[in-house]
Every structure is written in C-alpha cells, then in structure tokens.
Amino acid sequence: MISIREIDPADLALFDEWYDAFRAGAIAGREAALVVGRETLGFSLRTPGPLKRRIAVGAFEDERVLATLLFEYRLTDNLDTVEVEIAVPPEHRRRGIGTALWRWAVTRSAQLGRTIVQAELGVPGDPSPGAAFAERLGFQVEHVEEHLVVPLPYDDLRLDELRSAAGPLDGYRLTSWAGLCPPEHQQAYADLHTAMDLDVPTGGMTRELVPWTVEKLTASEARVDRTYLALVTMAHTDAGEPAGYTLIYLPRADAEHAQQDDTLVLREHRGHNLGTHLKLANLQQLAKHRTAQRFLHTWTALSNAPMRKVNARFGFRAVEEHREVELRLPRLRPAARGVILDEDDRVLLVRFEFPDGPLWATPGGGVEAGETLVEGLRRELIEEVGLTDFPDPPHLWHQEIVADGHATGFDGVINDYFLIRTNHFTPAGTLTAAELRAENVHAMQWWTLPDLDAHAERFAPRELPTLLRKLLDSGPPTMPTQLGL
C-alpha cells in the first residue's frame, strides 16, 4: 500500500533516502537538469526562514520512499500561492503515485486557503512526462525560458576575444565582490533587485512583487550565504549612479553546477554593451573562486532577444525548455472522515438533517490549517463519536466536490476517507447533543451491509453500499481511489 506523508528533515537517514528519490525523479531523461543540492535543501528544510515554508513529502511503500513532493509557500507575500515539485523516479512512474502526491498538495493548499498552484517543468523535448502530467491536471503554461549551459572552466581564449570585441567601457565603472554585499552598495543593490523583479518577464504567472529593502537584502544574503557563494559585479556611472548588475551562485557543497542568475542593465543604460562587460567581469571572478563546478547554467525568456544574443556570444548552449505553469484551484473545504467498521463489519454512520432531507455520512469533519489529515480525523472522532485509540489508518478514498451548498463560504469540499477497524462501541463524543445538532447531526447508527442495501435514503459518499462491499471483498486499495459524488 502507498501512503503519502510528510518527512521529518531532521531524520537524516530518512531525508537522505527522500533526497535520493527526489533527485532520481528530477534528473531522469534530462541531459542537464539543475537540481537543488542535498546540503542546500536539507539546510533549508531543517532551518526554516521567516519568509518561506518548505515541506518534504514522500510516497511510502513498506516504509521505503518511492517518490517525492516538495511543497512550498511564502509566509508574508503571495499568500494565495503554493509551489509544487513532484518527482517520481522512472521505475515507479505511471502507477498513479504522481497523482497521489498531487492530491496531497491539493488538500494541503485547501487547508491553507491557497488557490494558485505554480510549478516549473524542465522539458528537454516532446513528449515530456512532466508536461503531459501537468496538462492532464489542468495546468496552463504561462511562461517559457530557455535553459542554457556552458562547460567550465570557461575558455580563456573566448573571454579574451569577447573582451576585445566589447571594446572599452566608457562612462561606467564596475565593482565586483564575492559573498555579502559591501555596506556602501547595499541600498543601490537592493534597488537594482527591485528593478530586476519589475523588469524580468514572467508571462502570465501570478506574482505579487515586494520591493527590496536593505533589511530584506541582508537577511536574504545571510541565508543564501550558508550554502552558496554569491559572485556579483555591479555597474555604476562615473557619477556614481547604479546602472546594472550580474550574479552567479557557486554552491558551497554541491559542487557540479554553478548558476548564472540575474543580469540587469537599467533601461536608460542599455545599448552600451554593459551586459557583456558585467558578465565578463563576473566570469573573471568565477575563474578565481570556482572549485569543482563543471557547468554554468542560465535561463533566458524566449522573448528576451538581446539577452539571448549575449548568451550565444558567451558560448551558452540551449539544453531544454524551462516552463512555468500555473493552475487555479476552487476554494474547497478539506475534511477527514472515518469508515469505522466493527468486528461484525457493521459501519458507523451519522445522520445529518439538511433542508433537502436527511443524509447518512461517515463521521469526521473539517481539518484545521495546522493539522495533518489523520490529526484532524482523530480530533473530529473524539468530538463526534468518542473514538480515541486507533493506529494510523489506511487512506481509502479521495473525493473533490465542486458544487454549491456543501460548505458555506467555499466552492465545495474535499473529503479524504480512512479505514478504522474497532470493537463495537456506543458512540458518545465530547460534543453535547445540542452542539451536534448545531452541526446538523441528529443521530448515529451502526449499519450492516444488508441494512444499507435496503435503505432508500441518501448516503455520502453516494455509492457507499457498493464501496463498502468492494472494501470488504478486496481490502483497502493500494492507493486512495478517486470518488465521484
């Protein structure tokens, strides 16, 4: 049976196993995938910063990690958005594991009240499993960049050629540094970051921009500096006005790949070959600081013709498309529900009274933002029926219902159903009868399968008698089954 759950990144052996699957899934079939390094990601997961939350999720079978999801969201801006990265190693693909991880992401997004999901795809060519998977889920491609690579060490002769072709740099001076920005440049460097955010094309991706301040810059640099050495070259006019910058990240521990990140020349300073001069100066720094890195990666929007020209001059070769995709989710209220069976295979149901009539449903209810599904289920069952001790239950069914009238203030509900085997008991939770009635619960009853078959009223899920028969005949499914209404 496959179960999806968060991993504790402080459990180093488990994190290592998780990371191996993450990397294997991410690099398969790609010549030059750039995957965040083990140390960098481990540090980030174990030492959360104030701006972003990252969760490592695994698909487990027999306590082995088969596949992974990295789920991220920002804490002070972009509050509607989450980012997902699902990676399934090739030997475990096309079994529905990617989809099971995706459902975890949908449920957690709903718990957080977030409705925009973003992802990045490395697409070396068509057909691409990632692109097919994302399309099937309904993601739209909003922005495409070219991912380019040049081997290191950089060819000195080419640099000399480029330097003489670029000619002198009149009216500007360049300043380079490695590591943290010197205090005298912090304000200008922060302003250039803001200009970069405004200038860089991102297609139709939803993005709330937050201006950079010196405080934000120093906090971000201090964090990044733990795992990357930043190489920066900045351009000023002779009068001291900032005109542009370029930035390379050298990973401190994950030695293969370096990243050419931002390059910006402010609009009013374009057309002076400044981009080339900035890159030349920073490559000189790279030659000095490079340790074992064998490749320098960069990304440029297909629409950014001037930068693509500079890239070609510097010998970068396109290796794949980098697609940014986005999906809008309905606002769904997540709930965890227990399929509680006693020793005689009777199932415990609660009766809701709604304006359109009674409905017999499995006990359980809404999951709070900070809870896992099983934690929410345990709390709900204590409150509703008084069931306390049970081992972590198998996940049976997943149901997404987009329709009015299921939860006030929402576009619908997500129900995740879990199997609980228990001795027969008389339901009595911590909620009083009046409190239950306030939630429309008016009765509780154990049902045999024949009782269910003979009953003419409504069940939730609608096909409950059929689903239960299948469960009793065949046992829980390997992976949660997607239900209709």
Ligand X SMILES: CC(C)(COP(=O)(O)OP(=O)(O)OC[C@H]1O[C@@H](n2cnc3c(N)ncnc32)[C@H](O)[C@@H]1OP(=O)(O)O)[C@@H](O)C(=O)NCCC(=O)NCCS
Residue 93 in the binding site for ligand X (CB under 6 A): yes
With CB under 6 A as the rule, give the number of residues binding ligand X: 23
Per-residue DSSP letter, 272: S
Residue 58 in the binding site for ligand X (CB under 6 A): no
Per-residue DSSP letter, 138: T
Least Å distance between CB 478 and ligand X?
12
The residue with its CB nearest to ligand X is 130
By C-beta, is 92 or 308 nearer to ligand X? 92
By C-beta, is 86 or 381 nearer to ligand X? 86
Q: Which of 7, 97, 319, 385 binds ligand X (CB under 6 A)?
A: 97
Q: Which of 95, 158, 207, 313 binds ligand X (CB under 6 A)?
A: 95
Segment contacting ligand X (CB under 6 A): 88-96, 271-279, 368-376, 476-484?
Answer: 88-96
Beta-sheet strands, E only, within 345-411 = 347-354, 357-361, 364-366, 395-402
Least Å distance between CB 335 and ligand X?
23
Q: Which residues contact 451 (CB under 8 A, 6 or more apart)?
A: none
Residue 480 in the binding site for ligand X (CB under 6 A): no
By C-beta, is 384 or 416 nearer to ligand X? 416
Tokens matching residue 225 = 């500096």
Phi–psi pair at 289, nearest 5 degrees? -100, -15
Residue 87 in the binding site for ligand X (CB under 6 A): yes
Q: Which residues contact 33 (CB under 8 A, 6 or more apart)?
A: 26, 27, 122
Beta strands 257-265; 242-251: pairing state: antiparallel
Least Å distance between CB 70 and ligand X?
9
Residue 36 in the binding site for ligand X (CB under 6 A): no
Place of tokens 């329709």: 403
Contacts of the segment 463-469: beta carbons below 8 A, 24+ positions apart: 464/360, 464/362, 467/397, 468/339, 468/347
State how far the Cα of 333 lies from the Cα of 352, in Å rounded to an integer.
18
By C-beta, is 45 or 468 nearer to ligand X? 45
Tokens matching residue 257 = 């790949």
**Closest among 184, 283, 287 to 236, alpha carbons compared:** 184
State how far the Cα of 20 lies from the Cα of 24, in Å rounded to an integer.
6
By C-beta, is 325 or 335 nearer to ligand X? 325
Site for ligand X in 120-139 (CB under 6 A): 121, 127, 129-130, 132-134, 136
Q: Which of 14, 32, 38, 99 binds ligand X (CB under 6 A)?
A: 99
Residue 98 in the binding site for ligand X (CB under 6 A): yes
Tokens matching residue 329 = 């989710």
Residue 106 in the binding site for ligand X (CB under 6 A): no
Site for ligand X in 134-193 (CB under 6 A): 134, 136
Q: Binding residues for ligand X, per CB under 6 A?
A: 25-26, 84-88, 93-99, 119, 121, 127, 129-130, 132-134, 136
